[in-house]
Amino acid sequence: MAVRMLIYVGLLYQDLIRAGQRTPAGYLPPVLLLVLYNGRPRWTAATELAALIEPPPAGLERYQPGLRYLLVEENRYGEAELAPLRNLSAALFRLENSRGPAELEQVVATLVEWLRAPEQASLRRAFATWLRRVLLPARLPGVRLEAVRELSEVRDMLAERVLEWTEEWKQQGLREGLQQGEAEMLLRLLRRRFGELPPEVMERVRQGDSERLLVWSERVLDAESLAAVFEDRAN
């Protein structure tokens, strides 16, 4: 990411030079490099370019490119930290970190209250569109969503269906938990029978569905090798 940021800044400055868009004093403008990360695993990439470059011979340090970006990692902020903050970035983080329909409804209701002004209509619609097309389909796969355009309509929809969706999320979580438990039990059986497992075998087991996990578990008892557990016997 640090290398990509270096490229982005270079391209930006080239465009500004071509367009004659320098500061009144003839300089290029300063740039704040910001990376917003909303993934689950913690960010591990270097946040400055110097960390990626072999240390140069003494005396040449000043001639090396220097660049650092500001990392905003959403999963480092908890609900207790975000809830008191009255700003849209905190609300967005709370929506993406929400763990159930009730939390979603609460944050959307707060946004409706904040964005009442007529001049904020486009922002309300932008949040509504993002919720309906991006966040809710990812959280509620297979659930039909009404074609809402206003943030208040999203709030009302969540309020009407929060109990139904909570039960659906709960059942989905139970299924995922059971499947994960089956996978870990199979891994224990495989280790006991064949010893330490290659990473690719562990990944394959953890990605397997319940039906495959059952078949593989039955084969552990009499399979002569680890490969025999996973072989395709369709033919």
Residue 21 has pLDDT above 60, yes or no: yes
How many CB atoms sit inside 10 A of residue 136's CB?
A: 21
Residue 5 is part of which domain span?
1-76
> Is residue 85 situated within a structural domain?
no
> Is residue 117 situated within a structural domain?
no
Cα gap 150→120, rounded to integer Å? 11
> Is residue 37 situated within a structural domain?
yes
> Is residue 35 situated within a structural domain?
yes
- Name 36's bridge partners: 72
Pairing status of strand 70-73 against strand 34-37: parallel
> Is residue 187 situated within a structural domain?
yes
Mean pLDDT of 72-80: 87
> Is residue 120 situated within a structural domain?
no
> Is residue 191 situated within a structural domain?
yes
Domain count along the chain = 2
CA 83 to each of CA 157, 199, 210, 229: distance values in angstroms, whole numbers, following the listed order: 22, 40, 39, 50
Residue 166 has pLDDT above 60, yes or no: no
Domain boundary among 76, 104, 127: 76
Domain boundary among 20, 52, 76: 76
Domain boundary among 76, 106, 130: 76
Digit-coded pLDDT (tens) for 184-213:
787 888 887 788 888 888 888 877 777 777
For residue 54, the model assigns a pLDDT of: 94
